C-alpha cells in the first residue's frame, strides 16, 4: 500500500450561512483514504456525511481546510483542472442512480469516458466487461428508464468504474433499494473493490451495511467521532 493517501482532508470546515444563521456542516474534519480501502461513513441525518463525501469527491469546495487528491492540493487548482481530476480519479454512485433515461444502459456506462474524451471502441469493450461483472450486460441495449431500481444501480456502478478511477464514492447507494437488492449491490461493491483494488467510500445510515466495511467512520454534528479500522469486511 502506498504511503500517499488517495484522498486527504486536512482540517476541513464547511459552513453554510443563510439569513444570518451559520451551520457548520463539517467542523475541522481531517481524514485520509488509502488504496483498496472499503470505507463506510455513518452517522445520523444531518451529521455531514454527504457534505464530507462531496468535498472528497471535489463536487464541493470546503469553506476552509485542504483537500488533496493523490497528494495534489486541489484548493488552488483552476476549475477546469479540478473537473479533469474529478473525471479521471473519482467514480460516483448516487442514491438515485442519476442515469440519463433516454440513453441505453451501455450508453450510460460509457458516458463518463465520453466526457473525458476517450475512444468509444475502448470504452465499449471496457463497458461490456464491467456490465458482465455487475450482471447487467443482458440489459445493455435497454433504455435506462426501462430498468428496475436494482438494475439501474448496477449500471451506475459499472459507470463509476468506466474511467478506472482510484476512488469510488457512493452516497447512500442502496437507500432507494429493497433489502435484497441492497445486499446484492453491497456485495457487488465489495467484490469490485477486491477485484479492481479501487478504494471505495460509501455513506450509509444502515448499520447492517457497515458490517461489510473494513473501516467505519462515524460523524456527528460535522465532526468525526469514530474511525474504526480492522473490520473483517465480511457480513
Partner 1 sequence: MSKASRIYAWGEIKDHRRIYTIIIIVIALTMSSFMLTHAAILYTSQVISSTTKMALSSDVCILAPGSDERDLYGGAVEIPDAGEIEKTINELPGYRASVRCVLQGSYNVGDGFDGCVIQGIDLKRDVELEKIKSGLVQGEWFDESKEYLHHRTGIKIDLGNLTSKIKIKDKTIGRIDFEIGNPGEEPYPVIVGETATKVHPIKVGDVISVIGTKGSRGAFSASVVTIELKVIGTYRSGTPTLDQLVWFMPVDCLREIKGYGSFTDAPPQKLLSLPQLTDKIGFLLQSIPFVSEISMYNITLSDIGSTLEGVSEGLILADAGFEVDRGAGEIILVRAPEPRFHMKEIAHSKDVVNELRGAIDGAMNYVIYSSHDLIRYISGSMQDIANIMHWIMMFIILALATFAIYHAMDNIVLRKIREIGTLKAFGATDGAILEIFLNQALFIGFLSGGFAVGISVIAMRFINWYGGISIGFIGETQLDIKFLVTWSIVLITFILPILVSILASILPAKKAATLSPVEALKKGEISL
Tell me which residue of 141, 121, 188 sits closest to 160, measured CA to CA. 188
Please report whether residue 150 would count as binding partner 1 according to CB under 8 A: no
- With beta carbons less than 8 A apart as the criterion, state whether 192 and 164 touch: no
Binding of partner 1 by 59 (CB under 8 A)? yes
Residue 14 or 190 having the CB closest to partner 1 = 14
Q: Does 80 bind partner 1 (CB under 8 A)?
A: yes
* DSSP states along 64-112: EEEEEETTEE-TTS-HHHHHHHHHHHEEEE-TT----TTSBHHHHHHHH
Residue 49 in the binding site for partner 1 (CB under 8 A):
no
87 binds partner 1 (CB under 8 A): yes
185 and 177 Cβ atoms separated by less than 8 Å: yes
Least distance in angstroms from the C-beta of 85 to partner 1: 8
By CB under 8 A, residue 154 contacts partner 1: no
Q: Is 164 in the site for partner 1 (CB under 8 A)?
A: no
Q: Which of 115, 122, 207, 225 binds partner 1 (CB under 8 A)?
A: 115
Measured at the alpha carbon of residue 152, what is the angle toward residues 55 and 84, in degrees to the nearest 5?
A: 35
92 near partner 1 (CB under 8 A): yes
Distances (CA, A) of 17 to 20, 23, 24, 187, 220: 6, 6, 9, 39, 19
Position 94 contacts partner 1 (CB under 8 A) = yes
Q: Does 77 bind partner 1 (CB under 8 A)?
A: no
- All three cell numbers of 177, joined, read 433499494
- Among positions 34, 84, 128, 206, the unique one binding partner 1 when judged by CB under 8 A: 84
Contact set with partner 1 (CB under 8 A) = 54, 57, 59-60, 79-80, 83-88, 92, 94, 96, 98, 100, 102-103, 111-112, 114-117, 163
Amino acid at each position: 500500500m502506498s504511503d500517499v493517501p488517495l484522498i486527504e482532508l486536512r482540517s476541513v470546515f464547511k459552513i453554510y450561512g443563510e439569513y444570518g444563521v451559520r451551520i457548520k456542516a463539517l467542523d475541522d474534519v481531517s481524514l485520509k483514504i488509502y488504496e483498496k480501502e472499503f470505507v463506510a461513513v455513518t452517522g445520523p441525518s444531518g451529521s455531514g456525511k454527504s457534505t464530507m463525501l462531496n468535498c472528497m469527491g471535489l463536487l464541493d469546495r470546503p469553506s476552509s481546510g485542504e483537500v488533496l487528491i493523490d497528494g495534489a492540493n486541489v484548493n488552488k487548482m483552476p476549475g477546469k483542472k479540478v473537473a479533469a481530476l474529478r473525471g479521471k480519479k473519482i467514480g460516483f454512485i448516487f442514491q438515485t442512480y442519476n442515469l440519463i433515461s433516454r440513453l441505453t444502459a451501455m450508453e450510460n456506462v460509457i458516458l463518463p469516458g465520453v466526457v473525458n474524451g476517450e475512444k468509444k471502441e475502448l470504452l465499449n469493450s471496457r463497458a461490456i466487461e464491467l456490465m458482465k461483472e455487475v450482471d447487467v450486460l443482458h440489459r445493455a441495449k435497454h433504455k435506462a428508464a426501462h430498468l428496475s431500481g436494482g438494475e439501474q444501480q448496477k449500471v451506475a456502478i459499472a459507470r463509476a468504474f468506466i474511467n478506472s478511477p482510484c476512488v469510488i464514492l457512493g452516497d447512500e447507494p442502496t437507500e432507494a433499494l429493497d433489502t435484497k437488492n441492497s445486499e446484492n449491490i453491497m456485495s457487488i461493491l465489495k467484490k469490485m473493490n477486491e477485484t479492481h483494488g479501487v478504494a471505495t467510500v460509501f455513506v450509509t445510515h444502515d448499520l447492517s451495511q457497515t458490517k461489510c466495511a473494513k473501516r467505519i467512520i462515524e460523524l456527528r454534528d460535522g465532526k468525526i467521532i469514530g474511525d474504526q479500522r480492522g473490520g473483517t469486511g465480511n457480513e
